[in-house]
């Protein structure tokens, strides 16, 4: 028994040692991060090879996970792998009404710039058992992680997914993350999806409407995109509001009393306790009372000395970094964040996008301070901090994901703005973990003529954090030694005049503070929103870094305000940000939040379209321009969805009209990717999409309301009304009349290839969309029209007139094939067959009862040569005389078609 157990142990050990090594795919958010993480986990021994994208390399190394040796493959994406966009015709500005974009179908797909990265992931994941996500640990990073998961699981559905949680790219941090892999947080990703889809719908609807309208009404002024963003415009609103406050400011004069006391060239200024008065006569009366009884003596009422501290800064979060970069370094918030992101990827600082301003007890602050002791500028101060013991002045905010921004590694190799941003982060960190500056403040109150005056002095005892934090100052103010109850003769007492001043324009740091206060955007997006409205020309920056609105920006905000809309105010976006946080916390469902927000902005869009003239007036006023007379923005037709495409089954068939001859057809919205097209038969005069849904096919299927060119067609359908409303999918009689075969279309059957047939009735029919045929002219069929991508009749469509599947019955007047139909209406003629001519351009109105026509030995379905029409029959003129010659095309002079469908002529559609 002992021998057996020993044998089993040896066999098990042998199998483990010789088993093939398991492989994991690791994906970071940027190539720099992938390189650094791979270097730390492999201790510098990773092997690099090329990916399909030249910017995203692949690093291979071995690692131990849960006591098991794993072959690691590390690569990266370049930010978001996927993007949202509308499907089909909704992407075209002129193809649909902007109001439809609130409900238009959207898709999340991989754009062309990311295809190589996607292909790399698909190739590498095939041989891997698990996927480890190493993206940034915030909402956007979580969403990028799920995009990576979606791509990889499309290749390997049973792939195991892990999430590495880290807040800094250091050796200890990434190794700790690898040892404590978790599951990704789907709620955070869902919140980003809701925000992305909503931004797409809102931005596209308002931007298209504004741009097309203003470019039409002010063609000489507005020649660029007039965009709207639910974060950008409220941000612009802050700048406009402050500018208007300054513009409308009316200065007011005021008067005050000032007392000075000079001894040995040291002058102490005492401020009036009343501060100031806006009534000159009242101030003069008080001034006379003070100077009434000479000699003027000021009596010391109180002398108070108390310790005074100047607090060290709190740990740095993203908002503080952006504001300090703008105020102290004079670097824009966007550039500051770009530099910080690069420093993070190089491992010099912690993750720069954080809402946390408090250090947790798990962070080893002493080791972080020790890293900086060798620097020539702040190394000595770092030594002092170690002697005192690092003691941060923590704030109250924590996002439970990342610590405050702090240096993770010492470096002296940086230069330019990178060095300045790194120095700011280091000095701020050392300051926040050191001690407050201390001093002694003396407060003196004196009385003269019944009026009280105050003065203060300051003595700095210990500078402490001010020694390293060069961005802050604390100036000492000397004061004489006063004793309570004593008196002195003032050097002067005056009544100076002043006036109120207009509020200062906002700086970028002020604007970020307002965005944070009103929940506009997040700490990760503030800089992007400000940069966007700068690029749009909505705001500009003048000397001293002040922001002022541009002419177009002023006009837009004033236009919204005139309509009583809150589009330029923060309430709408702040409500969305609160809902997104609720999604992350699991308190709200993503789809409910999305629908509620869509309805809010849909109502705002309805108002802006109804009151658009107010926007025109405000824009014209700001540009000092008069709108073009009788100028109307180009109209965009409504996309009329009918039912889901039987071929691709993912997009909708929509009703379209050809401008040249008002022909009607149904086309897949994904045309030309899906070439599913149904040309309605030449019987149809007019067709519209009914508001009524088909009960049998479901609410997504709309009925068609059709008016026919000939009333005789209604006999076949068995109705008396001039308009026929029915579902094309369930009404087999309507499909038979129009020559539509759904089976051929769902199979991708041919058009113009002579292989399709109609099984239910002897009605001529061509097939449905087919693959490209070399016999079809590419010029007329394969190239979509520039306007609305209208397909040609022959290729990729179903159209009546397939000569190989019909009888040779011809019209005695125009020589076009006749249709043989059967009366469906109840009555004496029920079931009786007849012939009709469906010529579209100039209907012949030929009508012949089939049972009144002598049989032709050559073709029993063909009517005889021209003969008198039976009395009482419907239709055209006499059929006596010689048959007409076949019609020839006016362009190529060949028979069998007209100029409208000539293969040598490419028509232009609207």
Name the phi and psi angles at 162, rounded to 5: -130, 155
Contact 817, 809 (CB under 8 A): yes
d(CA 24, CA 127): 9
**In whole angstroms, what separates CA 219 from the centre of its chain?**
28
351 is catalytic: yes
Name the phi and psi angles at 467, rounded to 5: -65, -35
> How many Cα atoms are found within 13 Å in the side-chain-facing hemisphere of 366?
6
Beta-carbon count within 10 A of 244 CB: 15
Those residues with Cβ within 8 angstroms of residue 490's Cβ, 6 or more apart along the chain or in another chain: 259, 260, 261, 270, 296, 298, 448
> Cα(first)–Cα(last) distance of the chain, in Å?
89
d(CA 791, CA 796): 8
d(CA 174, CA 170): 6
Beta-carbon count within 10 A of 757 CB: 16
Apex CA 47: angle with CA 43 and CA 51, to 5°? 130
Contact 627, 620 (CB under 8 A): yes
Q: Would you call 836 helix, strand, or coil by DSSP?
A: strand
Beta bridge partners of 270: 259
Pinpoint the alpha helices (H) of 346-452: 365-370, 379-388, 416-432
Q: Tell which residue, 669, 805, 648, 653, has the closest CA to residue 728.
A: 653
Name the phi and psi angles at 644, rounded to 5: -70, 140
Those residues with Cβ within 8 angstroms of residue 837's Cβ, 6 or more apart along the chain or in another chain: 811, 813, 814, 816, 818, 819, 843, 844, 845, 846, 876
Residue 85 burial by CB count (10 A; 0-12/13-18/19+): exposed, middle or buried?
Answer: middle
Beta-carbon count within 10 A of 682 CB: 23
Measured CA distances, 264 to 33, 261, 482 (Å): 64, 10, 15
Pinpoint the alpha helices (H) of 820-879: none
Contact 342, 417 (CB under 8 A): no
**The CA-based dihedral angle spanning residues 889, 893, 895, 898, taken in that order and rounded to the nearest 10 degrees:** -10
Strand order in the sheet with 684-694: 684-694, 698-708, 723-726
d(CA 218, CA 619): 9
> How many Cα atoms are found within 13 Å in the side-chain-facing hemisphere of 898?
9
Beta bridge partners of 106: 86
d(CA 127, CA 123): 8
Q: Would you call 683 helix, strand, or coil by DSSP?
A: coil
The answer, yes or no, to whether the previous bond of 21 is cis (omega within 30 of 0) is no
The tokens describing 565, both together, are: 């809309």
Q: Would you call 438 helix, strand, or coil by DSSP?
A: strand
The bridge status of strand 451-462 relative to strand 130-134 is unpaired
Active-site position among 59, 344, 351, 546: 351
d(CA 279, CA 276): 9
Residues with catalytic annotation?
351
């Amino acid at each position: 028994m002992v021998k057996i157990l020993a044998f089993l142990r040896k066999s098990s050990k042998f199998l483990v040692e010789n088993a093939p090594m398991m492989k994991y795919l690791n994906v970071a958010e940027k190539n720099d991060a992938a390189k650094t993480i791979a270097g730390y986990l492999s201790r510098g021994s990773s092997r690099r090879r090329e990916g399909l994208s030249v910017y995203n390399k692949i690093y291979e190394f071995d690692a131990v996970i849960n006591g098991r040796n794993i072959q690691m493959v590390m690569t990266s994406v370049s930010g978001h792998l996927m993007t949202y966009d509308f499907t089909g015709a909704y992407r075209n500005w002129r193809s649909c009404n902007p109001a439809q974009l609130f409900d238009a179908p959207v898709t999340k797909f991989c754009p062309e710039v990311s295809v190589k990265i996607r292909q790399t992931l698909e190739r590498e994941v095939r041989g891997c058992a698990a996927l480890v996500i190493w993206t940034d640990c915030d909402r956007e990073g979580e969403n990028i992680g799920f995009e990576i998961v979606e791509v990889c699981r499309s290749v390997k559905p049973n792939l195991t997914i892990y999430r590495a949680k880290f807040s800094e790219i250091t050796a200890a941090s990434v190794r700790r993350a690898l040892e404590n892999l978790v599951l990704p947080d789907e709620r955070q990703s869902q919140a980003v999806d809701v925000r992305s889809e909503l931004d797409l719908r809102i931005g596209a609807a308002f931007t298209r409407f504004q741009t097309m309208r203003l470019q039409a009404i002010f063609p000489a002024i507005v020649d660029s995109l007039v965009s709207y963003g639910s974060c950008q415009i409220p941000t612009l609103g802050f700048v406009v509001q402050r500018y208007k406050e300054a513009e409308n400011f009316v200065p007011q004069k005021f008067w005050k009393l000032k007392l000075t006391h000079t001894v040995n060239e040291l002058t102490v200024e005492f401020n009036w306790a009343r501060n100031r008065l806006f009534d000159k006569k009242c101030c003069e009366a008080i001034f006379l009372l003070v100077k009434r009884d000479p000699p003027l003596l000021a009596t010391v009422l109180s002398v108070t000395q108390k310790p005074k501290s100047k607090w060290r800064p709190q740990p740095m979060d993203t908002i503080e970094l952006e504001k300090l970069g703008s105020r102290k370094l004079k670097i824009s918030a966007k550039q500051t964040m770009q530099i910080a992101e690069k420093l993070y990827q190089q491992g010099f600082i912690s993750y720069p996008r954080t809402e946390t301003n408090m250090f947790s007890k798990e962070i080893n602050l002493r080791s972080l301070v020790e890293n900086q002791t060798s620097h020539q500028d702040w190394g000595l101060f770092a030594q002092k901090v170690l002697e005192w013991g690092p003691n941060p002045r923590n704030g109250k905010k924590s996002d439970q994901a990342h610590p405050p921004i702090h240096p993770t590694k010492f470096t002296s190799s940086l230069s330019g703005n990178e060095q300045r941003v790194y120095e700011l982060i280091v000095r701020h960190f050392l300051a926040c973990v050191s001690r407050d500056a201390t001093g002694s403040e003396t407060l003196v109150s004196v009385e003269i003529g019944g009026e009280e005056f105050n003065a203060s002095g300051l003595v700095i005892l210990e500078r402490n954090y001010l020694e390293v934090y060069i961005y802050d100052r604390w100036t000492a103010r000397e004061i004489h030694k006063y004793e309570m109850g004593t008196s002195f003769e003032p050097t002067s007492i005056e009544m100076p005049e002043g006036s109120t001043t207009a509020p200062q324009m906002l700086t970028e740091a002020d604007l970020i503070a307002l965005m944070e206060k009103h929940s506009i955007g997040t700490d990760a997006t503030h800089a992007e929103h400000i940069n966007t409205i700068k690029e749009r020309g909505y705001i500009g920056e003048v000397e001293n870094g002040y922001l002022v609105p541009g002419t177009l920006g002023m006009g837009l905000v004033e236009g919204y305000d005139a309509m009583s809309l809150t589009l330029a105010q923060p309430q709408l976006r702040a409500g969305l940000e609160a809902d997104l946080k609720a999604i992350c916390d699991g308190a709200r469902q993503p789809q409910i939040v999305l629908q509620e927000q869509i309805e809010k902005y849909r109502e705002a869009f309805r108002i802006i379209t109804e009151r658009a003239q107010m926007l025109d007036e405000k824009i014209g006023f700001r540009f000092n321009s008069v709108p073009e007379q009788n100028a109307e923005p180009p109209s965009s037709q409504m996309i009329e969805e009918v039912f889901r495409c039987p071929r691709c089954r993912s997009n909708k068939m929509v009703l379209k009209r050809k401008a040249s001859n008002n022909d009607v057809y149904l086309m897949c919205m994904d045309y030309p990717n899906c070439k599913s097209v149904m040309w309605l038969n030449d019987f149809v005069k007019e067709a519209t999409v009914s508001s009524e849904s088909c009960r049998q096919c479901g609410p997504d299927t709309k009925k068609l309301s059709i008016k026919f060119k000939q009333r005789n067609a209604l006999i076949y359908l068995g109705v008396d009304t001039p308009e026929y409303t029915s579902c094309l999918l369930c009404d087999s009689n309507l499909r038979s009349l129009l020559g539509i075969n759904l089976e051929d279309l769902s199979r991708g059957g041919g058009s113009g290839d002579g292989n399709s047939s109609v099984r239910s009735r002897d009605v001529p029919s061509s097939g449905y969309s087919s693959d490209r045929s070399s016999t079809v002219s590419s010029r007329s069929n394969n190239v979509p029209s520039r306007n609305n991508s209208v397909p040609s009749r022959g290729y990729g469509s179903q159209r009546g007139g397939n000569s190989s599947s019909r009888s040779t019955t011809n019209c005695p007047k125009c020589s076009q094939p006749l249709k043989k139909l059967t009366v469906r209406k109840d009555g004496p003629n029920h079931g009786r067959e007849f012939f009709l001519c469906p010529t579209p351009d100039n209907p012949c109105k030929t009508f012949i009862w089939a049972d009144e026509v002598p049989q032709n030995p050559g073709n029993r379905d063909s009517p005889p040569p021209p003969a008198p029409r039976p009395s009482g029959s419907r239709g055209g003129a006499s059929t006596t005389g010689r048959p007409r010659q076949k019609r020839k095309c006016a362009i190529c002079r060949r028979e069998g078609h007209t100029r409208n469908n000539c293969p040598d002529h490419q028509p232009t559609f609207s």
